[in-house]
Amino acid sequence: MTAGISLNELQLAARNHGMPLEALKHEITPLGLHYLLVHYDIPVVDPATWRLTIGGRVRSPLELSLDDLEARAAVTAAVTMECAGNGRALLEPRPVSQPWLSEAVGTAEWTGVALAPLLAEAGLEDDAVEVVFTGLDRGVEGGVEQLYERSLTVDDAARDDVLLAYACNGVPLPPQHGFPLRLLVPGWYGMTSVKWLHRITVVDEPFTGYQMVTGYRMRTGDDDPGTPITRIEPRALLAPPGIPDFMTRRRFLDAGVQRLEGRAWSGWGPIERVEVSTDGGGTWNAATVGDPPGPAAWSPFAFDWDATAGEHVLCVRAHDATGRSQPDAPPWNVGGYSNNALQRIAVTVR
Q: Contact residues for a copy of itself (CB under 8 A)?
A: 1, 3-15, 17-18, 20-23, 25-26, 30-34, 36, 38-42, 44, 89, 96-97, 99-101, 103, 138-141, 145, 174-177, 240, 243-249, 252
Cβ atoms of 82 and 190 within 8 Å: the answer is yes
Distance CA 242, CA 70 (A): 44
Q: Which of 218, 240, 233 is nearest to 318 (CA)?
A: 233
Give the contacts of 268 (CB within 8 A, at least 6 positions apart).
Answer: 187, 231, 232, 233, 234, 320, 322, 324
Distance CA 304, CA 325 (A): 22
Cβ atoms of 259 and 247 within 8 Å: the answer is no
CB of 13 to a copy of itself, least distance (A): 4
CB of 22 to a copy of itself, least distance (A): 4
State which residue, 55 or 175, has the beta carbon closest to a copy of itself: 175
101: left (phi over 0), alpha (psi -120 to 50) or beta: alpha
The three-state DSSP-derived secondary structure of 62-131 is EEECHHHHHCCCCEEEEEEEECCCCCHHHCCCCCCCCCCCCCCEEEEEEEEEEHHHHHHHHCECCCCCEE
CB of 33 to a copy of itself, least distance (A): 6
CB of 145 to a copy of itself, least distance (A): 7
CB of 167 to a copy of itself, least distance (A): 14
Q: Which of 220, 242, 232 is nearest to 264 (CA)?
A: 232
CB of 27 to a copy of itself, least distance (A): 12
Vertex 132 angle, CA 126 and 135, to 5°: 155
State which residue, 261 or 320, has the beta carbon closest to a copy of itself: 261
| CB atoms near residue 198 (< 10 Å) | 18
State which residue, 177 or 235, has the beta carbon closest to a copy of itself: 177
State which residue, 62 or 213, has the beta carbon closest to a copy of itself: 213
CB of 192 to a copy of itself, least distance (A): 17
State which residue, 11 or 153, has the beta carbon closest to a copy of itself: 11
State which residue, 38 or 122, has the beta carbon closest to a copy of itself: 38
State which residue, 33 or 116, has the beta carbon closest to a copy of itself: 33
State which residue, 62 or 147, has the beta carbon closest to a copy of itself: 147
CB of 244 to a copy of itself, least distance (A): 5
| CB atoms near residue 206 (< 10 Å) | 11
